[in-house]
Amino acid sequence: MNTFSAPKGTYDLLPPQSADFLAVREAISAPLRRAGYGYVETPGFEQVELFARGVGESTDIVTKEMYTLTTRGGDELALRPEGTASVLRAALQGSLHRGALPVKLWYSGSYYRYERPQAGRYRHFSQVGAEALGAEDPALDAELIVLAADAYRTLGLREFTLLLNSLGDRECRPVYRAALQDFLRNLDLDEETRARIEINPLRVLDDKRESVQLQLADAPLIRDHLCEGCKSYHEQVRELLTAAGVEYRDDPRLVRGLDYYTRTTFEFVHGGLGSQSAIGGGGRYDGLAEMIGGPALPSVGWALGVDRTVLALRAEGVELPAGETTEVYAVPLGEEARRSLFSVVTELRRAGVAADFAYGGKGMKNAMKSANRSGARYALVLGERDLAENVVQLKDLESGEQTAVALDSAVGQVLTKLR
């Protein structure tokens, strides 16, 4: 039994399952790179205040789920629970907003929330995210949604649904907020939820408890309170998505779990994941830059869960292409053969061939078993007699055919066979 194990609610990624996570990250990031998004990487921890201001002091993320620590110097830090606030902070600190706008960024990393572990919900999880900073344009909202939907389709995912809503802006949100508060104050709610009504009543709409949801059946909807500007903006997003062939479902109760969203809000859900159905989502956050001390910088973005996406693919029975597989397996028999064949393997790798080596002085039988297990197409076998004749045996592991080739032309012979 091991002395140590991964902390509760976390996981290790190990081959061969880890190949699926790499494939998902690549599939999500590839369309972003083609659309002009540059890569950004931020620290795994930030000042607590960054998330308190940006994510919202009334959210469960900040009040219950954030991992915090105090440094020896007295600084209050938090492991990042989400990516947007960190990316925006980095862009502002790096003065990217002073150049051409929008600033288009993508990122990939691990995030941390202290939650009750269950399938699809971990205390450590992986996301790929994208942010477009500095432009208020329905086409930018639609672009990001299309890129996410296309990434899912590229992976082979089919049974997901895109939920879409608008949360209004500074003009119409206060009117809706007041109407919602009046409604919520008359419900039978616990003290903690009642306190949330006064801080951010939209958080109550996001409460997953059945006892609360039953009482929200007749709650006022924000779509009935949108100003003309927000109505027009949302309609343009909807039209662009339809023109791009992206299906969606209007969800007037969609608010998501972060305080910074304005106008466009969306979520991708998958029916094969049970209660933890969200596999990704995002929206517009036009006031977040000002919340964290920056200038006005209207922005939009999303984060897609790598873990959840892998679970959704498995629920649909989608098998992702295998990662890099061994093409050639080298089997040396004896020390001199070991030195000579190691050089050949090094040349093959430099020529772009996936090659492996029988390490540990394995005998012929065990080495060939390893070659077959590796999935290699060919084996290179070099023994003392071969060395004396300056040849190496090139064996086709599918047909069993074996040919002696000159040792100094082995790399070229292998490349010809493979290509």
Percent of the chain at pLDDT > 90 equals: 72
Burial of 296 (0-12, 13-18, 19+ CB in 10 A): exposed
Summarize pLDDT for 219-243 with one digit per residue, the tens.
999 899 999 999 999 999 999 999 9
Q: Which residues are annotated as a binding site?
A: 82-84, 113, 127, 131, 256, 260-261
* Overall fold of domain 18-172+226-315: BirA Bifunctional Protein; domain 2 (3.30.930)
Q: Which residues are annotated as a binding site for L-histidine?
A: 82-84, 113, 127, 131, 256, 260-261
Kindly report the pTM of this predicted structure: 0.90
Summarize pLDDT for 94-117 with one digit per residue, the tens.
999 999 999 999 999 999 999 888
* Domain 328-418 sits in CATH 3.40.50.800: yes
Return the domain boundaries, the chain. 18-172+226-315, 328-418
Rg for the chain (alpha carbons), in Å? 27
Packing angle between helix 335-350 and helix 410-418, nearest 10 degrees? 50
* Sequential DSSP letters for 113-145: -----BTTB-SEEEEEEEEEES---HHHHHHHH
Contact 167, 180 (CB under 8 A): no
Tokens of 142: 């639609």
Q: Does the CA dihedral 357-358-364-366 come out positive or negative?
A: negative
Compute the distance between CA of residue 299 and CA of residue 64 in angstroms, rounded to an integer. 27
* Sequential DSSP letters for 213-229: HHHTTTPPPGGGG--HH
- Count, in order, helices (H) and strands (E) of the chain: 16, 16
Beta-sheet pairing, 278-284 with 262-270: antiparallel
Which run of H or of E encompasses 270?
A: strand 262-270
Contact 215, 187 (CB under 8 A): yes
Summarize pLDDT for 266-324 with one digit per residue, the tens.
999 998 888 779 999 999 999 899 999 999 999 999 999 999 999 999 999 999 887 77
Summarize pLDDT for 17-57 with one digit per residue, the tens.
899 999 999 999 999 999 999 999 999 999 999 998 877 76
Question: 266's torsion region: left (phi>0), alpha (psi -120 to 50) or beta?
Answer: beta
Summarize pLDDT for 372-381 with one digit per residue, the tens.
888 899 999 9
